[in-house]
Every structure is written in C-alpha cells, then in structure tokens.
Amino acid sequence: MTSLSDLPIRDDLRGLTPYGAPESRVPIALNVNENTHAIPEAVAHDIVTSIARAILTVNRYPEREFPVLRDSLAAYLGHGLTRDSIWAANGSNEVLQQILQAFGGQGRSVLGFPPTYSMHSIIARGTGTRWISADRDDDFLISPATAVRQVEEHSPDVVFLCSPNNPTGTPLDPDTIVAVYDATDGIVVVDEAYAEFAPAGAPTALDLLPGRERLIVSRTMSKAFAFAGARVGYLAADPAITDALRLVRLPYHLSALTQAAAIAALDHAPEMLAMVDDIRQQRDRLLVELPKLGYHAWDSWANFVLFGGVDDPASVFEQLLAEGIIIRDVGMPGHLRVTAGTEAETTAFLDALARITAR
C-alpha cells in the first residue's frame, strides 16, 4: 500500500494534515459554534415536504442558476438586493473558495487578521494563494489606521475581514471596512457568518455595498438558521462578482435537495430566527458567569464566547470531555472557546467548569 508521501502531490501540500475540529460523540457538543437548538417541528415538516417534491425530479440536473433560492436570500437580506447580487454554494467555505479561485491563485495574495477564522488561511493554501498575516490592535480589534497601514504595506489582491470575528467574537467597525476598501484596488471580503447574533440594529457590511463593486459580504445558514448539516452559504455583492464566480463554479454545484431545503427554511425565517434571542441570552449569561469563576470573557457579538485566564487549556478541555462536554481549544495560549448552547447545556458547562476550577 502506498502512502501520501509517495504520491506526486503539490510541494506546498507536503507534510500537512487535513483540517478538522475534534469529533467526539458526547452528550453536550459546544465546540464548533453550531446552533444547538433543534429546528421547530412544524418547520421541519415543511422542509421535508419541499425535499420530497424535489426528489421526484432528481433524475434531472438541478437549477444551475438557482433563481428561486437567490430570490429568497435577497428577500431575507433586504437592503434593496436582488437575485443578481446573490450567490450561494455548499457552505460559506465553498463561497470563500470560489472567491479565491476567481480573484486569488498563483502569484496572488490574500491578507487576513489572525486570530481569525482558521479556514481563511487554509482555503488560501488550497487555492495556491499566498496568505499574509496582519496584526490586530489590543483587545482583538482592528482600527482603520492599523488595517490601512498593513494593506498599503503588503498590497494584497484580496483582504479577508471577519465580523463578528471568530474565534474572539469581537465586532468590526464599519469605518475599518471602508478604510480598507479605499486603500486597495483588490477584493474586500467581510465574513459575516455570525451577523444574526449581533445586537439588534447593529451595523452590517451590507449597508456599505452600494457603490462598492469590489466589496463582498459572505453569510451562512449554518448558524442562526440551524442549518449546519444542510451546507448552505451565500454572499451579497455587485452583480459583476457573481459573474466572476460563474467562471470557477462547478456545473450544478447546488443540489436540488439543498435548494429545496434552503428555500423552505427561508420561507420560515421568523420561526427559524426565534431561537437567536435565546442563544444571545445564553451567550450573555456566559459573559457574566465566566468572570465569576475567575476567567476573562471577551465581549462577543457571536454565538460563542472566548475566555482567557486558563492555566492549562489542554487539561481543562480533557476534564470537560471526561464529563461529556466538548468545547474548543483554539490554540491560543491560556484561552478556550465555548458555544452558547441551550439553557440546560450552558448550565451543565458552567457547573462542570466550576468543579474543575475548584479542583
């Protein structure tokens, strides 16, 4: 049997290991920022009915341009958007990959601001795009001046911004987005995977789209819509951006079943998003209770909390795992990240962490 090292893979992939968060069958999984609330039963029945109708025609290829889904996404986002400004793929990771396939690649670079979503640099590597790490300010923020200085220094072809940021949960000042856009002739991508968990009325990069044809706002249905297993990500941008992505997408890349499920879920957006308020409450509860246990909880606009002051993150992770609870060691010294779960899950986590801390 041959091994990976024996194969003629690309030199820049040699010695690497596949990305993946730890997977453990435990009662309480709070490690990958899923929505731990189940889809309402009545909504689930409508989604199943929609899929059942679609399966009667799976002998035919799906709608290549998925116009109904794009109309549904545009209506959900508002901001005067139409289907021409919407694109979708199998999760926001595929959306980001298609962006770099179109605007990155060999001889081009993408600038990001670690600590940030780990897949940004991994997708860059997979598309042969040079990854450039830029610095943040204190408290994981990015001021316009800090961002512009590094954009001007490196002249990237693409800039990735994340708001709220993962894994820190911190928001991004819209002035920083505008400053970055004005400082580059390249593509600016704002990853808003957790936008629905921000405070009501909080600004979004969608507000900045008019007149900025190189700005892309990436979203997902995995988090607020509890659709992680369905794999539906999307973006809003100038229609010319969607034209560019058509050059690199695989034909019929969104299955008919995916389209049917997503359209049905979007038809029930109010019911699907009703659980967001409860998740916010549990997140805010973590922000209050973690400091009582002696940890520093970073303010979060997402559905998770990063907390510091952990003497031995690996040990705490393993002790929680032994109690049937998995959270995330994000590789930041002295820090761990926990997803805001249901009230019962959050209680179980806090109680277990309290016992571990007392020991």
Q: How far is CA 196 from the centre of its chain?
A: 12
Give the mean pLDDT of 319-323: 96
pLDDT in tens, 97-121: 999 999 999 999 999 999 999 999 9
Give the mean pLDDT of 277-300: 97
**What is the architecture, at CATH level 2, of domain 41-268?**
3-Layer(aba) Sandwich (3.40)
Report the C-alpha gap between 120 and 32 in whole angstroms.
16
Q: Is the pLDDT of residue 1 over 90?
A: no
Report the C-alpha gap between 141 and 83 in whole angstroms.
33
Give the alpha-carbon dihedral of 252, 237, 158, 204, to 10 degrees: -120
DSSP notation for 309-354: --S-HHHHHHHHHHTTEE-B--S-TTEEEEE---HHHHHHHHHHHH
Give the bridge partners for 304, in sequence order.
Answer: 339
pLDDT in tens, 134-193: 999 999 999 999 999 999 999 999 999 999 999 999 999 999 999 999 999 999 999 999
List the chain domain ranges: 4-39+271-358, 41-268
Q: pTM higher than 0.75 for the full model? A: yes
Q: Which CATH class is domain 4-39+271-358?
A: alpha beta
DSSP notation for 206-219: GGG-TT-TTEEEEE
Q: Indicate the pLDDT class of residue 22, thresholds 50, 70 and 90.
A: low
